């Protein structure tokens, strides 16, 4: 892409309510634009990052035999009444009437819809297990939308649902999905921990959250210093005790009575995390309520045994930046970067600089590298600041040193600048 033609409206001003680095930098660098409270438009750079994350998720889901579907965003209230969640979800459910006065809900999650899709279509144990997922906008009328796309009202979720004939098969699938989710977050370059969690409004038994570790996270975690054990402190607090959740605890002992790891006896300490994924063993909660049944080996009707697997795709964009930024802006990981290389022509009026920029741009593009060419007439300092703010992993600076046959490669993460011979720069990057 040529920067002179790109729609990347960078600004010096951050939104007045922005406190998190991700909110500040994603806004300033022209990734997201707020429309109203908790509602955001994704501009081209954000769209590219989202596609990267979606691709990784799609690859890992395909690797474990999941199939992608897409359910309608507008969902009939009757399904929510069947499951009993119309009341449970409360004000987070946005309800409205159509012209025929039928009531609908904007999907905040899709358990009911997926059960409805499968019921009466999958009728025998021989057709099980199946695991279906979608990437889909969700709407929750959050009480306190905040932190930019970290807690929006409209947000993008990957939500998956599995159907089984036995609990043993659900357990197997759940472990497999946990591994797949681990792979996704590892590929995204994130530092995370999988913790035991409360099952919340969705209901069910086994529940684990995938937490990206960050001081700005809204969840407090008890993590073991010696092993991989971790738990959301919610599980130690009284169910639904909102006041307690907002209390500030200084040690696990204050909450749990002791600070010993239940798995290895090591010491537990408190840390903060961003919930980017949540997986549950639902059992028959929804299938029983919606009478979604299959015939088992003995010809007896049984409700499906289910699992559910959610991942916050748009929240992940913010989480990457919470873990990867500095005072100048975003630092994208290689797997998430909207463009890997930014070619910065210091002075577009200098023919040699301009020509080398163009040549390098074409070669890299033809080799499949995602590359931006900063061919704008602006000053070097301005363009460099912009590159820092956006956070391209590499910027190739074509400037005065070209007179000595040299260009620079700037590494956004390490801030190390190396000078290389102009005719070797292509090989250095490839
Ligand atoms: P939270 O505790 O942050 O409110 P949740 O537990 O209500 O999240 P789930 O129902 O578990 O969310 O949904 C699955 C995933 O969707 C979450 O792990 C999170 O990554 C993402 N998510 C949930 N709510 C939002 C939101 N308001 N904005 C962005 N992402 C969200
Ligand atoms: Mg919530
Ligand atoms: Mg939660
Ligand atoms: Mg959750």
Specify whether the CB–CB gap between 259 and 268 falls below 8 A: yes
The encoded tokens of residue 112 equal 């009911």
Nearest CA-CA partner of 321 in 10, 24, 57: 24
C-beta of 314 in contact with ligand 1 (< 6 A)? yes
Please give the structure tokens belonging to residue 163: 């159907």
Structure confidence by residue, pLDDT tens digits, 336-383: 999 999 999 999 999 999 999 999 999 999 999 999 999 999 999 999
Per-residue pLDDT at 103 = 97
CB-CB neighbours of 146 under 10 Å: 16
Pairwise CA distance, residues 430 & 425, whole Å: 9
Nearest CA to ligand 1 atom 11: 278
Ramachandran angles phi, psi of 15, nearest 5°: -55, 145
What the block records as the tokens of 282 is: 């639902």
Beta strands in 207-267 (DSSP E): 207-213, 219-224, 230-232
Cα separations in angstroms, 286 against 83, 119, 373: 6, 11, 52
- Give the distance (Å) from ligand 2 centre to CA of residue 384: 39
* Residue 336, φ and ψ in degrees, nearest 5: -110, -10
Blockwise average pLDDT, block size 10, the chain, 430 residues: 98 96 98 98 98 98 98 98 94 97 98 97 98 98 96 98 98 98 98 88 75 96 95 81 71 90 94 97 96 98 98 98 98 97 97 96 95 97 98 97 95 96 85
Residues in CB range of 56: below 8 A, 6 or more apart:
184, 187, 188, 335
Q: Measured in whole angstroms, how far is the alpha carbon of residue 221 from the centre of its chain?
A: 19
pLDDT score for 199: 66
pLDDT value, residue 17 = 94
Angle among Cα 224, 336, 47 to the nearest 5 degrees reads 125
pTM: 0.96
Q: Which of 21, 226, 38, 67 has its CA nearest to residue 143? A: 38
H-assigned helices in 74-215: 77-83, 85-89, 111-118, 167-187
- Testing ligand 1's pocket by substitution, the residue of 39, 206, 312 carrying the most ligand atoms inside 8 A of its CB is 312
- Dist. CA 232–CA 275, nearest whole Å: 10
* Interval between CA 275 and ligand 3 midpoint (Å): 6
The end-to-end CA distance of the chain, in Å, is: 18
If one residue of 157, 217, 286 were mutated to test the ligand 1 pocket, choosing by the most ligand atoms within 8 A of its CB, it would be 157
What is the ipTM score, two decimals? 0.99
- Pocket lining: 276 vs ligand 1, CB cutoff 6 Å: yes
């Amino acid at each position: 892409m040529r920067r002179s033609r790109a729609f990347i409206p960078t600004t010096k001003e951050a939104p007045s309510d922005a406190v998190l680095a991700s909110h500040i930098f994603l806004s300033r660098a022209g990734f997201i634009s707020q429309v109203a409270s908790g509602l955001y438009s994704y501009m081209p750079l954000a769209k590219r990052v989202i596609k990267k994350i979606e691709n990784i998720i799609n690859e890992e889901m395909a690797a474990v035999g999941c199939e992608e579907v897409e359910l309608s965003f507008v969902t009939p209230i009757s399904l929510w009444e069947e499951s009993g969640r119309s009341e449970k979800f409360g004000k987070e459910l946005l309800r409205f009437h159509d012209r025929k006065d039928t009531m609908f809900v904007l999907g905040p999650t899709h358990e009911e819809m997926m059960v409805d899709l499968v019921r009466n279509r999958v009728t025998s144990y021989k057709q099980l297990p199946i695991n279906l997922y979608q990437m889909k906008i969700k709407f929750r009328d959050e009480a306190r939308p905040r932190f930019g796309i970290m807690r929006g009202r409209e947000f993008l979720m990957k939500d998956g649902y599995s159907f089984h004939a036995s609990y043993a098969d659900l357990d197997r699938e759940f472990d497999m999905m946990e591994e797949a989710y681990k792979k996704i977050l590892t590929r995204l370059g994130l530092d995370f921990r999988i913790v035991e969690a409360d099952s919340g409004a969705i209901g069910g038994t086994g529940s684990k959250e995938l937490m990206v570790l960050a001081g700005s996270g809204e969840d407090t975690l008890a993590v073991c210093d010696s092993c991989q054990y971790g738990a959301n402190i919610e599980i130690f607090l009284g169910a639904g005790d909102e006041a307690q959740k907002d209390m500030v605890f200084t040690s696990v002992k204050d909450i749990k009575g002791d600070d010993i790891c239940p798995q290895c006896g090591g010491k537990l300490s408190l840390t903060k995390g961003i919930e980017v994924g949540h997986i549950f063993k639902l059992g028959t909660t929804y299938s029983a309520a919606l009478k979604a049944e299959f015939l088992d080996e003995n010809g007896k009707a049984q409700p499906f045994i289910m699992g559910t697997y959610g991942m916050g795709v748009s929240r992940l964009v913010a989480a990457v930046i919470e873990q990867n930024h500095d005072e100048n802006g975003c630092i994208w990981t290689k797997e998430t970067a909207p463009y890997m290389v930014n070619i910065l022509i210091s002075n577009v009026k200098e023919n040699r600089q301009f020509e080398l920029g163009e040549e390098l741009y074409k070669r890299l593009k033809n080799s499949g590298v995602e590359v931006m060419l900063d061919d704008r007439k602006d000053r070097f300092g301005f363009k460099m600041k912009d590159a820092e703010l956006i956070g391209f992993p590499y910027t190739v600076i074509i400037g005065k040193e070209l007179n000595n046959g040299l260009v620079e490669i700037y590494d956004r993460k390490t801030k190390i600048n190396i000078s290389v011979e102009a005719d070797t720069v292509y090989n250095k990057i490839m």
